[in-house]
Amino acid sequence: MDILDGDSGWGFMPDNMAERILGLVSQEKPKPQPGRPIAIDDGRLWGARDQLVWLFEETWAAVGERLPWIKKPADVLDVIRVWDNPNLSTGNHYIAKCLLRPSTIPVTQKWLSARRLELGKLNSAVRDAYDAREKCREALEKAERALSDQLSASDKAAVLDQIFRRGKKLLDAKTEYDSLDKQQRDVQALVLDGEASFARDEFARFCRSNRYRLEPLNLANALAGLPYIGWRQSIKRCQPTPAPGANGQAIQIFRAIERIVRSCVRRSDLAGHADKFLRDKRTKKALGASELRKKWYYLRWSIKTVLDADPRVTTRNLPFAITREYWKRTDRPSNVDALFEEEERIVI
């Protein structure tokens, strides 16, 4: 009878038919994707981009001011040194750690690929050597447990011989593991040094290219693929996908201070101009201006401190200097500051 007969349905199908079908499907190997393997997948790339957006926006007052002067890789380390702060989480991301790692070895992508391939083989060899060492350790412990005073002289001699042989094997396995482990650590350090040099070189290349404005989102798009791909490929892959965390409160506060400075005619009237700017109803819904109205006491003193500074802060650098002073004051307010902060809030 045909198993697909209308009266019988699937009731007479042999029990192993489904297994056979699944077996045929599972044997089909996926076709290899054309082109070169992807060095970094989209999920990790976009995650790194989002972290970098936050990092640049939070530290823009310290980092953004000096970005236009980056001409060589060594300049990058000087500009982003503010990230290396154990009291903050700014230096915890792997790209930040990579850029902050001191290294001056010249590298190419071909050199990096060769070292990574070498490291991959060493990682596999170290795992195998570790497993072999542990098996030798277990074999020795088994032999040691067999040793007993109740054994006959001949059996005791045989067990002691096994302990000796297995102890020697364990010593050889440990020597092999230690040697491979040292090679692995040496090559890994070399790879990390090379990745740091490559990443800072790409950072400097992006800043020198003058193809994009040096602002947090563009920088994050360009650097998200480091140290696995260059800035051009990184920005090409990141740009089509929006960054949900971009344009947060920190950068909006900086932009508001920047607009206040740029729209002021006389430096001496900057505090009064800022007061008028924040009272303008057109800025009522702007997040940066709204926050500055609440913290007007700190902004007023920040403006005064920067304008009175010696040496004189250039007009171009005023937004950065005022914002840095503002963050310093709001991060550690005293009880007196908290009192006057409430008293001096601007309400519109």
- Phi first, then psi, for residue 233 (nearest 5°) are -65, -40
Residues whose CB falls within 8 Å of the CB of residue 35, separated by 6 or more in sequence, listed in order: none
Mean pLDDT of the chain: 89
pLDDT above 90 coverage of the chain, percent: 78
Query: Which tokens in the block code for residue 311?
Result: 């040496």
SS3 (DSSP) at 127? helix
Higher confidence at residue 104 or residue 206? Answer: 206
* pLDDT tens profile 48-66: 999 999 999 999 999 999 9
Query: Which tokens in the block code for residue 251?
Result: 């950068």
Q: Cα separation of 276 and 273, whole Å?
A: 5
Range in 182-186, 292-296, 337-341 the model is least confident about: 337-341
Positive or negative, the CA dihedral 292, 293, 295, 301 is positive
Q: Cα separation of 280 and 32, whole Å?
A: 61
Residues whose CB falls within 8 Å of the CB of residue 198, separated by 6 or more in sequence, listed in order: 107, 109, 112, 226, 227
Give the global pTM: 0.81
Q: Locate the domains of the chain by residue range.
A: 249-343
Identify the band that residue 33 occupies on the pLDDT scale cut at 50, 70 and 90. Answer: low
Residue-level pLDDT at 82: 93
User: DSSP character for 79?
Assistant: H
* pLDDT tens profile 219-236: 999 999 999 999 999 999
Query: Which tokens in the block code for residue 99?
Result: 């850029």
pLDDT above 60: residue 19: no
Q: What mean pLDDT is predicted for residues 270-299?
A: 95
Query: Which tokens in the block code for residue 94?
Result: 């792997």
Query: Is the bond leading into 240 cis (omega within 30 degrees of zero)?
Result: no
Contact between 297 and 343 (Cβ < 8 Å): yes
Range in 3-7, 269-273, 312-316 the model is least confident about: 3-7
Contact between 235 and 221 (Cβ < 8 Å): yes
